[in-house]
Structure 1
Amino acid sequence: MTGSMACALQRYADLDRRLLAAVRGIHILGAVAWPASLERRMIDDFAHARFALPDVSYRRPELAEARAELAAIEREAGGAAQTDALGDYLRRTAESWRIAAEMLEAVGSTGVTAPSIALYGKPGDVIPGSHRSNLDAARYFVELSDELGADLLADDIRVDIPSATLRDELASTLDGFFGAGVIAVELDAELTAKAAAGATRIRLRDGTCFSEYDRHQLLAHEAYVHSLTALNGREQPLLASLARTSPRVTATQEGLAVFAELMSGAIDIARLKRISLRILAIDMALNGADFVEVYRFFHERGQGVEDSFHSAQRVFRGVPVTGGAAFAKDNVYLSGLLAVHTFFRWAFREQRMDLLRYLFAGKLALADVLSLEPHFADGTLASPRWLPPWMRHAHGLAGKLAFSVFINGIRMGRVEPDALSASV
């Protein structure tokens, strides 16, 4: 390595350290969270048909100093943006955190909407490689699920695994995969979501029962993507920020996690319906629906009182509940899934399966995998230490992608039943 190259890498390492220090006080979901006591009281009210708009107050963080530092990092990293992917990665990452800081400084107002859309997209965004939008995809999956509804009821999915039992089962499995004690599994009575994952801890909502589908999804989605990429990010010798999910990589990270559910058989049509309903609900809120109207939307489509409340809550985190505003994060689950699935198929078609491994080397966006590939190849960035079980078998993955690429060319509107029966 030449002296100038070593100097450039040290400069990027210094900027990366400054970036992590600047964002230490930026906690997006924490800043928009609702008190658990309010949730419990309102869920009880809604269960007894006592409908009223929630009265939620937020504490706006003071992030002016962080924003100024992030803007400085953008400028300093941007000087090499056109010639070096590392500088471009740092510039884009600092920019996304700066936008997030601006969003949180507006928490409780409609001012959250625009920056949240800038970070997470919106329902009307066009799907890459298609003329259809995320909203079109959401409607498709909801309609398909509804058409299959009668058959799905026969599956008799039981939600009968106590949180403590699931905690013990997950801990045993993860100890066997990552090593004893690398990831702790804990119960948390204050958790809004049913589960949440960090690099070394997975939390389950205490007092909640889970299904076998939940168990498989927690492993495929939370442990083998969110925790795994965070742990691999901690192994990076140059960019420690790859261990933390920046706002600009959220769509890829969540899309990759849902894609992992798909590839490992841990997803069902009901799950696709749930994430699709959230996109429809964001669109409703943006177009003026209030919290009660969005709650009723979820409830009328088969969700229970508690799930409907939490689903509506996700849409209105950090924004007024009177309509016309939304927190757009839940747009990323379906849009990210579609983008990641397309990326995997593209990598297979281009015979670049090697690129797919880099997706797990830290918290990366799809564009980062392409731009940073030379730095993985020369060892500046470390290849992933851990890979999900379904990624370890290249031939099996290639087989699934080959089938997917080919079958995509079949137009279902042209399929005639007689032709099917004549072909077998």
Structure 2
Amino acid sequence: MSTPPASAAQLQRCAALDQRLLAAVREIRILPTVAWPASLESQMIRAYGNGRFTLPPITYTRPKLAAARAELAAIEAAAGGNDPRDIDPLDDYLRRTAESWRIAADMLESVGTAAVTAPSIALYGRPDDPIPGSQRSNLDAARYFVELADELGADLLADESGMPVPADALRSDVAATLDAFFGEGVIRVEVDPELTAKAAAGATRIRLRGGTCFSEYDRHQLLAHEAFVHSLTALNGRRQPLLASLARTSPRVTATQEGLAVFAELMSGAIDITRLKRISLRIVAIDMALNGANFVEVYQYFSACGQSVADSFHSAQRVFRGVPLEGGAAFAKDNVYLSGLLTVHTFFRWALKQRRMDLLRHLFAGKLALHDVISLQPYFDSGAILPPRWLPPWMQHMHGLAGKLAFSLFINGIQMENVQADELSIGV
């Protein structure tokens, strides 16, 4: 049964709570708080390249977030209602979002200690979490993609083509593409030498890591992942008249956002087996760290898997952001890339099976979790939440998307372990 739309007074109350929420989380900055200085990274990469393996001397500044936590708890209480079973979907959205930010605040106030691990797992999951609809785990999937990439590696070497593109040249190219899609100057593209990731996106700015060269696959992934998901959903969220928080990535929507972004790479042909291996290796590395591996051991794992000195260091750094480097602790965010992809892919196929393609479009209306797209449907229907202004290129042709999903849904029933080679002959 669908929830009847809220009254004007209820909508106004929720909008006011949403504004309180945005004000409360202004000082909660997850990735900047756990980031490492670029100067330290450069120094340690040189040392590791010369075989001098020591634990990086990293220290953190702990933010003071007691006031934010108290306000978030008050918002949770105001949105919680007397009976959780009767809570309105808007209140439920606000309660869940406030709770996730409060957990993030707890995590950041423990930065530099092993106490970061538990809240990061609460927000982002852990490698051995089961995949929805499967008996296998995220870690099982990660190991599968790593093994497959290694098995195919020699066969795919000849497929590498194109000259690497420096960050400055890519910036100009991507900026022109985004001007044509969103309008001139809507999204700036900048080169940032302090950036740890290869690229990062906000609503109106995309940053590229300086001093880095990018492949043609990197360019496609940047557009599909950063621009046409992260920036696009932020811009659509900024247009929402009721819930302004839909423009900001709360911790609870991270898995959906990153899963959707990797799914976009898949649907637009922008992902390759090396990319799948890279995000899978990080999940194996998180599991290693949780089970006692220290920073150097995790670095050496990435190196043994074929990554360069710099990439191995950056990959290990992502696993140990905000936590001690001696082992037994991890920052679990990189768990969401593969787990999110698998869950979002399942959601898209489920929506097709339920004949609910409208849910897929609504997923781009802002920074939403999969749960929100379903529960907030009455407010999309009433117009209180607007449909997306922009959709990624691959979502603008729903017949083509439906064809891909329909094929995927059917083909999923074929059990590959039961297929014999002689059955694949066609004709007499």
Deviations 1:298-330 (A, max 9, x none): 000010000000000000000000000000000
Residue identity (%): 75
Partners of 1:21 and 1:176 in 2: how far apart?
34
Q: Secondary structure at the match of 2:214?
A: strand
Letter in 2 for 1:398: A
Letter in 2 for 1:8: Q
Deviations 1:186-212 (A, max 9, x none): 111111111110000001111211000
Q: Secondary structure at the match of 1:154?
A: helix
Deviations 1:225-281 (A, max 9, x none): 000000000000000000000000000000000000000000001100000000000
Q: Secondary structure at the match of 1:148?
A: helix
**Aligned pair 1:395/2:399, yes or no?**
yes
1:189: which partner in 2? 193
Question: Please, what TM-score do these two structures have when normalized by structure 1?
Answer: 0.98
Structure 1, 365-374 or 413-422: larger mean CA deviation: 413-422
Deviations 1:359-398 (A, max 9, x none): 0000000000000011001101000000000000010000
Counting only pairs closer than 5 Å after superposition, residues 199-348 of structure 1 correspond to structure 2 as: 199-348=203-352
Partners of 2:356 and 2:322 in 1: how far apart?
41
Partners of 1:322 and 1:102 in 2: how far apart?
22
Counting only pairs closer than 5 Å after superposition, residues 4-403 of structure 1 correspond to structure 2 as: 5-79=7-81, 81=84, 82-158=86-162, 160-403=164-407
Contact 1:159 1:209 in 2 (8 A): no
Per the TM alignment, residue 162 of structure 1 is displaced from its structure 2 partner at its CA by: 1.1
Partners of 1:332 and 1:4 in 2: how far apart?
33
Contact 2:163 2:215 in 1 (8 A): yes
Letter in 2 for 1:63: L
How many pairs does the alignment contain?
423
Could you say if the C-alpha distance between residues 418 and 179 of structure 1 is closer, same or farther in structure 2, counting changes exceeding 3 Å? Answer: same
Letter in 1 for 2:342: L
Partners of 2:158 and 2:65 in 1: how far apart?
52
Per the TM alignment, residue 157 of structure 1 is displaced from its structure 2 partner at its CA by: 4.2
Per the TM alignment, residue 159 of structure 1 is displaced from its structure 2 partner at its CA by: 5.3
Partners of 2:217 and 2:78 in 1: how far apart?
47
Q: Secondary structure at the match of 2:425?
A: helix
Partners of 2:260 and 2:213 in 1: how far apart?
26
1:410: which partner in 2? 414
Could you say if the C-alpha distance between residues 159 and 205 of structure 1 is closer, same or farther in structure 2, counting changes exceeding 3 Å? Answer: farther
Unmatched tracts of structure 2, length 5 or more: none
Question: Please, what TM-score do these two structures have when normalized by structure 2?
Answer: 0.97
Contact 1:234 1:243 in 2 (8 A): yes
Partners of 1:134 and 1:33 in 2: how far apart?
25
Contact 1:167 1:186 in 2 (8 A): yes
Structure 1 segments (4+ residues) deviating >2 Å: 80-83, 156-159
Q: Secondary structure at the match of 1:196?
A: strand
Partners of 2:128 and 2:361 in 1: how far apart?
31
Partners of 2:36 and 2:155 in 1: how far apart?
36
Q: Secondary structure at the match of 1:52?
A: coil
